[in-house]
Amino acid sequence: MTLLKKIGLSRRYGKAIYAVSAVLTLIMATFVAFDPFIIPICLILKLFSIPVILYLTAAFQKQKIYFYLNLGISRKEYFAIPFAVELIAFLLLMAITGIIGYANM
């Protein structure tokens, strides 16, 4: 299975992880657009939020994980791919909003 197919599976079945991470990312991007000097604080907050979201996801989806394993995605990939994709989107959004924030100053 290719990486893009695994990302598609994680996007299809890991909607909760993406939704919670996206909300957190959008809130932080809004703050950075108004004050770009808080980018390091947002990065630290994002790194601390990943284990919390991972724990909550694992705690609430214990019974459903076997269905995803049969589709060809491992347990580690099921939890790691959404965070990797969202972290890349987070870093891009921080860079873009940081540039916009510095331009508005």
How far apart CA 46 and CA 39 sit, in angstroms, is 10
Percentage, residues of the chain above pLDDT 70: 90
CB atoms within 10 A of CB 30: 10
- For the chain, the 3-state helix, strand and coil shares in percent, each to the nearest 5, are 85, 0, 15
Confidence label for 105 from pLDDT (cuts 50, 70 and 90): low
Show the tokens assigned to 52. Answer: 């919390």
Confidence label for 64 from pLDDT (cuts 50, 70 and 90): low
User: Quick one: pLDDT at residue 79?
Assistant: 79
The per-residue pLDDT for range 8-58, each reduced to its tens digit, is: 877 777 788 888 899 999 999 999 988 889 999 999 999 999 899 888 887
Show the tokens assigned to 45. Answer: 């907050």
Q: Helices 15-34 and 39-60 sit at what angle, rounded to 10 degrees?
A: 160
